[in-house]
Amino acid sequence: MTKFENFNKTLRNLEEMNRVNPPYDVVVTAGLCSLFAQCFEQAWRAMKEYLTQKGWKEAETASPRQTLKIASEAGLIRDEANWLKAMKDRSLELYVFRQEVADTLIADTCNIFLPLFRDLREELEKRYGN
């Protein structure tokens, strides 16, 4: 399975968040936050794989932050600032026991990160010719 396929699968899982409505119980809250973190992880790995395949040598050993920068330079992503926010916010998964942290992360996932992930999927599908 390619990194893009992994990303696509985790994104489909994350999109299921639209099927549940607040208020969320503790298990749903933890699950939604975990799905966001998984999706981000697979997204940057899919970017790295694509960039490496297309000859961006610096992507081969790039960190998540470096990968986002290269992806922005390559036109693979358009909103580098919010991608960097997503990278930073994935660590909040460890603090979702604090309701205000969980609520903010879920709201940002719905309003900011899910559209970013969908844009990336669309761009990669276009570039891969799917």
What CATH number should be reported for the domain holding residue 64?
1.20.120.330
47-93 tens-digit pLDDT = 999 999 999 999 999 999 999 999 999 999 999 999 999 999 999 98
State mean pLDDT over 105-122. 98
C-alpha distances (whole Å) from 27 to each of 31, 82, 102, 107 are 6, 27, 11, 17
Is-contact 1 45, C-beta < 8 A? Answer: no
Residue 20 belongs to a domain: no
Q: What sign does the CA torsion over 31, 33, 36, 38 have? A: negative
**pLDDT of the residue at 130:** 66
Structural domain span for residue 45? 3-14+25-128
Claim: this prediction has a pTM higher than 0.85: yes
Residue 119 belongs to a domain: yes
Residue 51 belongs to a domain: yes
